[in-house]
Amino acid sequence: MPTPPKRLHTAEDLDLHFNDIKIPSSKTSGVWHGPGPSTFHAWQTPISTEQTDPTFSSTPPPSDNRISRITFFDKKSQPFYPPYIYTRTHHPTLHANLGRIAPLFRQMGYGKNRKYVFGKYVRIMRVDIVEGKSDELRMFLETKVQAGGLSSQRTREQWEGTFGENWYKVYLEQVDTRLGDPMGLEDVREVFEMMGEDLKSLDSSA
């Protein structure tokens, strides 16, 4: 019996279904909301109604947020995936999500016609710091330029920002599950929160 084709989703479909926020990909970016996907998205931790201090930020500390989904754009932008994704996403958030499982979506096409398809569930196994100006970071950036995922025509300031900052190498391990496409779950956040940290029920062999 042939395998049914996977459903294609727009960025708007994903945003509406997950009701999450995108995590900025650099410490210089403060964009938590807005159109278009990010490599990592998260669900915000609810704020206690007892916190009435007007100076209290409406956005919880990033490390309190649970990663809800991961986007793999293409091999040009992430030439070492699988298994590694290089990112400048907020490190405390990544570290707080070690061991957790999230769905990974792949981008199909480019521009206005781009869509996203559910690929698999992955577990965040390890997060290594790749120091700015290190040999490893140089190798990654050179490989990304050669693959066409990063333009070599950049100003001195742009290169200093890209090469001078720390990056993080996130190791993702595939997890076999019986959940299927999370877009088919009525309340995807509730499903993951009910499972909490014990995600044995995801294992198809359980």
Q: Classify residue 189: in a domain, yes or no.
A: no
Q: Given this model, what pLDDT does residue 204 score?
A: 45
Q: Over 90: is that where the pLDDT of 44 sits?
A: no
Q: Over 80: is that where the pLDDT of 199 sits?
A: no
Q: Classify residue 86: in a domain, yes or no.
A: yes
Q: Classify residue 84: in a domain, yes or no.
A: yes
Q: Classify residue 94: in a domain, yes or no.
A: yes
Q: Over 80: is that where the pLDDT of 70 sits?
A: yes
pTM score, whole prediction: 0.84
Q: Which residue has the higher pLDDT, 46 or 2?
A: 46
CB 78 within 8 A of CB 72: yes
Q: Given this model, what pLDDT does residue 47 score?
A: 46
Query: Is 133 exposed, middle or buried (CB count within 10 Å of its CB: 0-12, 13-18, 19+)?
Result: exposed
Q: List, in order, residues 6 or more apart from 48 with CB less than 8 Å away.
A: none
Q: Classify residue 185: in a domain, yes or no.
A: no
Q: Classify residue 75: in a domain, yes or no.
A: yes
CA distance 78 to 148: 10
Tell me what the mean pLDDT of segment 67-79 comes to: 95
The tally of domains found in the chain comes to 1
Q: Classify residue 196: in a domain, yes or no.
A: no
Q: Classify residue 143: in a domain, yes or no.
A: yes
Q: What does the mean pLDDT of the chain come to?
A: 83
Interval 138-164: pLDDT, tens = 999 999 999 999 988 888 888 888 899
CATH number (domain holding residue 141):
2.30.280
Q: Which residue type is seen at 1? A: M
Report the range out of 53-57, 125-129, 162-166 with the highest average pLDDT.
125-129
Which alpha helices (H) appear in the chain, and where do they start and end? 11-18, 91-96, 135-147, 156-164, 188-195
Per-residue DSSP letter, 187: T
**Using a CB cutoff of 8 Å and minimum separation of 24, what contacts does 147-153 make?**
147/75, 147/76, 147/79, 148/76, 149/74, 149/75, 149/76, 149/77, 149/78, 149/79, 150/77
**Containing domain of residue 86, as a range?**
8-43+60-176
Q: Over 90: is that where the pLDDT of 86 sits?
A: yes
CA distance 18 to 39: 14
Interval 15-40: pLDDT, tens = 999 999 988 776 555 545 555 688 99
